[in-house]
Amino acid sequence: MARPSKISKALTDRICRRIAAGESLRSICAEKTMPTISTVLLWVVQDRDGFSEQYAQAREAAGYAHADRLIDVIDKVAIEELDPNRAKVMLDGLKWAAERMAPKKHSPRQELTGPEGSAVHQSHTITTTDPVEAAKQYQKIMGGNE
């Protein structure tokens, strides 16, 4: 059976649900039942059937999924199931992905609106390399409980 190449609502919904859950487009398109990555990316850039907006929303949701995975990694370090040095690499990658995919919520540099509608920039910095402490600082920056 050939890979699908025609766009359909059911197919784009399936792809976007998986992206939103944090899967990469590359891993999704590696499956023989999915279109090739080049086909999907052409749908995005050509905005086939309005797919660009759906794809952008799925990518933003993936940013939230990556941010959520940070907590899983930290929990594994806390119970000594994962080496802290390996965890740091994972945390850096997940943080990078979250910041790029959902910058309005996860970027360390967030844009706020000033009293007259002008942009006010606020910058946050994680000041530790300890994964557990970094997660606490990240959560505080993002407005969560400590």
Residues 14-30: tens digit of each pLDDT: 999 999 999 999 999 99
Alpha carbons 71 and 77: distance in angstroms, whole number: 10
- 68-77, 94-103, 123-132: lowest mean pLDDT where? 123-132
User: For residue 96, what are its two tokens?
Assistant: 């990078």
Residues 42-70: tens digit of each pLDDT: 999 999 999 999 999 999 999 888 888 88
Alpha carbons 41 and 18: distance in angstroms, whole number: 15
The SS3 assignment for 50 reads helix
DSSP for residue 26: H
Give the residue, 105 or 76, on which the prediction is more confident: 76
User: For residue 88, what are its two tokens?
Assistant: 């740091």
Alpha carbons 44 and 12: distance in angstroms, whole number: 10
Q: Half-sphere exposure of 41 toward its Cβ, with a 13 Å CA cutoff?
A: 8
State how beta strands 119-123 and 109-113 pair: antiparallel
Alpha helices in the chain (DSSP H): 9-20, 25-29, 37-45, 51-78, 84-101, 103-106, 131-141
Q: What Rg, from alpha-carbon coordinates, does the chain have?
A: 18
Residue 105 confidence (pLDDT) above 70: no
Query: What's the whole-number average pLDDT of the chain?
Result: 82
- Report the pLDDT value the prediction gives residue 146, as an integer from 0 to 100: 44
Q: Residue 5: what residue type?
A: S
Total-model pTM: 0.65
